[in-house]
Amino acid sequence: MKIREILRVLDARLVWGEPLLEEEVATACASDMMSDVLAFSKEHTILLTGLINPQVLRTADMLDIRCVVFVRGKQPNQEIVDLAREYDVAILSSGWTLYEASGKLYESGLKVE
């Protein structure tokens, strides 16, 4: 599934990352605990989280995650957006809860971990 499709499925707003919308992802990792993301994340994944701090982008960079979806309508501050640009990670914001967003992606055929 492409990031562009994830944007549509989650009724999300693109905060940053238009050049990455055609990137393919195979799975989604849904967690607010970055230690779990580090332990269980796979290749070609996106990260769904309600945690909104710089550590999320640093974790994404370490694992080559190309897209982070902030759930519950959370909006990243400028520091987060700047890190996303630096690390080349798309940022989406969705009004769904972590559970609902995971379910919507699963229903659309994306494996959710």
- 29: domain CATH number? 3.40.1390.20
For residues 12-23, b (16+ Cβ closer than 10 Å) or e, as one string? beebbbeebeeb
- pTM equals 0.95
Domain range spanning residue 20? 3-112
DSSP state of 53: S
pLDDT at residue 17, rounded to an integer: 97
pLDDT at residue 41, rounded to an integer: 83
Q: Are 108 and 13 in contact (CB under 8 A)?
A: no
- Which helix (H) or strand (E) covers residue 83, if one does? helix 78-87
What percent of the chain is modeled with pLDDT above 70? Answer: 100
pLDDT at residue 113, rounded to an integer: 77
Domain count, the chain: 1
